[in-house]
A and B are shown apart, each in its own frame.
Chain A
Amino acid sequence: NAGVMQNPRHLVRRRGQEARLRCSPMKGHSHVYWYRQLPEEGLKFMVYLQKENIIDESGMPKERFSAEFPKEGPSILRIQQVVRGDSAAYFCASSPVQGIVQPQHFGDGTRLSIL
């Protein structure tokens, strides 16, 4: 499967714990985007990364959330000290190049549940 791979598909955490969500982009794609989807709502942009660079993090909460896309390995969305309100589906998308608009290809998401 050459699509965008996200894991885990489901993640359960207790309040105060850390959540780490991973995203491997499609082969040949060097741009990664994270979105959050609350139940019955659309996707909300969180952050846009290229390899080793954060390009746009205007949708990221200022505290507890961070993202990285290292030179090797998947992109990681990290949520520290999780709270109930962090329960959502988190989707990763990737695209091949910047410069012209490219359709984003989405993974199947990580459903995060906070107990």
Chain B
Amino acid sequence: QQQVKQSPQSLIVQKGGISIINCAYENTAFDYFPWYQQFPGKGPALLIAIRPDVSEKKEGRFTISFNKSAKQFSLHIMDSQPGDSATYFCAASIGNFNKFYFGSGTKLNVKP
């Protein structure tokens, strides 16, 4: 079964708007939640990550919100830019195993 569920599948946002991508998980043993950004023809690149002991983490225009009780986490991209147009993947892993379970991806298109 899919360990991490991601939505929406695709997203169109106007330049300057806020992009929001959501993920939900079932396994309460997950303790590391990264977000990856992937451009066509490239590998995923780590964007930002969070552990469940904090509810929010912000790096520049990117913020992760984490709701442990709901087993959900989301990525917010503030002031979205056309250069942010890419596919975004959430992921989760357990302890020191370094085995990541990825969501199915969200294709973001930021319109100029």
A residues apposed to B, CB below 8 Å: 4, 31, 33, 35, 40-45, 48, 56, 91, 93, 95, 98-109
Contacts and interface: CB of A to CB of B under 8 A. Distances in A.
A41 B105 contact: yes
Contacts of B74: none
Contacts of A45: 99-101
Given A42-B6, A42-B89, A42-B104, A48 B98 contact: yes
Given A101-B93, A103-B49, A43 B44 contact: yes
A90 B33 CA distance: 22
B23 to A, nearest CB: 11
B34 interface: yes
Given A43-B89, A106-B44, A100 B100 contact: no
Interface of B: 6, 31-32, 34, 36, 41-46, 49, 89, 93, 95-105
A41 B103 CA distance: 8
A21 to B, nearest CB: 13
Nearest to A102: B98
29 contacts: A35-B102, A41-B104, A42-B6, A42-B105, A43-B102, A44-B102, A45-B100, A45-B101, A48-B98, A48-B99, A56-B97, A56-B99, A91-B44, A98-B96, A99-B96, A101-B93, A101-B96, A101-B98, A102-B98, A103-B46, A103-B49, A104-B46, A105-B46, A106-B43, A107-B43, A108-B41, A108-B42, A109-B42, A109-B43
Contacts of A107: 43
| A-B pairs, 8 with minimum CB distance | A106-B43, A42-B102, A43-B102, A42-B104, A101-B32, A108-B43, A103-B46, A106-B44
Contacts of A103: 34, 46, 49
A56 B44 CA distance: 21
Nearest to B2: A42
A50 B72 CA distance: 32
